[in-house]
Homo-oligomer: A and B are copies of this chain.
Amino acid sequence: MEDDIGTRLKALRNMYGLSQREVAKRAGVTNSTISLIEQNRVSPSIDSMKKVLDSFSMSLIDFLTMDMESNEKIFFEKDEIIEFFENGAHLKLIGANRKDRKLRFLHERYEVGAHSGDEMLTHDSEEAGIVIQGELELTVGQQVKILKVGDSYYINNNTPHRFKNVGNVECIVVSAATPPSF
């Protein structure tokens, strides 16, 4: 258990947007008790702690194992994410620093004539995407398709594919895949 009891309780209370007095009222203890616990001025008895947590309909076990660090970044400014270059495209990976990601969510930019290369790409993951701007030639196995704005695709596991911008403007695609290969 990384956080002490007081810090943990304060975080929990703030998650619910409740005041110490409201929690105290629901728990059947005094608000001073809540204050003292949150400041780690006292170590509550197990019975008291249970009463407090009952007001959140939570067990002591859940309280002790609850992940407090759900402060992963949710919003990203356009220029905040560093672009990198791979497979002929300028890529921005959304949530790159998020732990235990289950998604690879990309903003892809292909310059006029750019392509992913002669080699077909394969990933042990399913992938879907949609064209936001320009025209994308997508080769999936033996199938070739020109996708325009609003057109989209869904590629199964390990299916060879490649991309090429065949329009006269920069092509932009937003894609996602799971499980993430990077």
Enumerate chain A interface residues (CB-CB to B < 8 A).
1, 5, 42-49, 59-61, 64-65
Q: How many copies does the complex hold?
A: 2
**Minimal beta-carbon separation of A134 from chain B (angstroms):** 48
| Docked complex Cα distance between A65 and B59 (Å) | 11
Can you add 18 more A-B contacts, CB < 8 Å, to A1-B61, A60-B64?
A1-B59, A1-B60, A5-B46, A42-B45, A43-B45, A43-B47, A43-B48, A44-B45, A44-B46, A45-B45, A45-B46, A46-B46, A46-B49, A60-B60, A61-B61, A61-B64, A61-B65, A64-B64
Residues of B within 8 A of A47 (CB): 43
Minimum C-beta distance from A5 to chain B (A): 6
CA distance A59 to B5 in the complex (A): 14
With a cutoff of 8 Å between Cβ atoms, the chain B residues found around residue A64 in the complex are 60-61, 64
**What residues of B have a CB within 8 angstroms of the CB of A49 in the complex?**
46
Smallest CB separation, A57 vs chain B (Å): 15
Identify the interface centre among A1, A46, A59, A61: most chain B CB within 10 Å of its CB: A46
Q: Chain B nearest CB: distance from A27 CB in Å? A: 15
Contacts of A59 on B, CB cut-off 8 Å? 1
Tell me, in angstroms, the Cα distance from A43 to B44 when the chains sit together: 9
CA distance A42 to B47 in the complex (A): 9
